[in-house]
Amino acid sequence: MSDTLELAKELISRSSITPEDAGCQDLMMARLQALGFALETLNFGDTRNFWARRGTQAPLFCFAGHTDVVPSGPLKEWQSNPFQPEVRNGMLYGRGAADMKGSLAAMITATEAFLAKHPQHRGSIAFLITSDEEGPATDGTVRVVETLEQRNEKIDWCLVGEPSSTDKLADVVKNGRRGSHGCRLVVKGVQGHVAYPHLARNPLHQALPALAELAARQWDQGNDHFPPTTFQISNIHAGTGATNVIPGYLEVLFNFRFSTQTTHKELEQQVEGILNRHNLDYEVEWILSGSPFLTAKGALLDTAQQAVRDIMGYDTRLSTSGGTSDGRFIAPTGAQVLELGPLNATIHKVNECVDIEDLDNLSRIYARLMELLLA
């Protein structure tokens, strides 16, 4: 059993359902302390985070990741206990195998291998690890980054271990992510009897034309790196449950996934302009989960592509697809940010798994990347 597989199994065996860490970070910190890293625990609320750094000079290369996982779902649908890792037919099964305890294990063993060959490397190496990525993400990476910014400690290059691969290991590297901007819209009406609509005001009837316009609108054309901005309604609620009552209000939840072609403020202005044009009585609550970020060029992108070629023998493809990641908190500081990890086919699913050969190759890719940057 390889060191990477063994460590991945140890991490998976800890039931770290968000925001719990369940001892995963202690395990990682012990390995890093043995390598000469200075360790700092930065806990906020019920979230556990740590910052570990080896070296004091620039440039600073940072691994970023999370020890928390999503709940397992129905245990009866798992072929084995999600928190008792099991290897079957060359695959490691368990919650977090792909998202992202396999990546965390590969980061640690890659760093051990790199330092064994290059103990006097240039610059610095760091780890930024949280237990709040799968949850609200309010007391995790964002708070650690705020702390680093307050003391002017700058990350130059950051590799996030999110599962980026699609068909084979490292066939895709995420060099950016779309922004996520949500809204809770409440359209106010006047409740009444359906037989006397002239004595009421139906917010559904009033809002539907505006919602149809929002759903049909093309917000932008996208650009070379991002697809066009999308708008999706995720929830609508109105009424008392009775068939003879006109509802007094309508609540709508919707979300934008937006590119660098527009800003969240521009989206807000356009939405509210449409609502106003339809003469709605409404309230809006906007929730910006993250702005888009892009690493279009630079040393990190070049070396990641080279590392994949050196270890895997093929070229990787750049992508900005998918949801959000904690990279959205790190990129605004000026850091170059990439995401590179195992296949994402089973993440958040029952019987989540990762190829054990991919784990070893991922560790080699990480080690080669550090070698190209810091040796």
Catalytic residue among 20, 21, 99, 133: 133
133 is catalytic: yes
Give the pair of three-digit tokens for residue 203: 């917010």
Give the pair of three-digit tokens for residue 66: 């999370």
CA 69 to chain centre: 12
Diameter over CA atoms, the chain: 82
Catalytic residue among 20, 21, 68, 355: 68
357 is catalytic: no
Q: Return all residues near 303 (Cβ < 8 A) that are at least 6 apart.
A: 369, 372, 373
**Residue 69 corresponds to which amino acid?**
V
Task: Specify whether the CB–CB gap between 252 and 236 falls below 8 A.
Answer: yes
Helix boundaries (H) for the chain: 3-12, 24-33, 102-117, 141-150, 203-216, 264-277, 299-312, 327-330, 356-374
DSSP conformation letters of 86-146: EEETTEEESTTIIIIIHHHHHHHHHHHHHHHH-TT-SSEEEEEEES-SSS--SSSHHHHHH
Catalytic residues: 68, 133
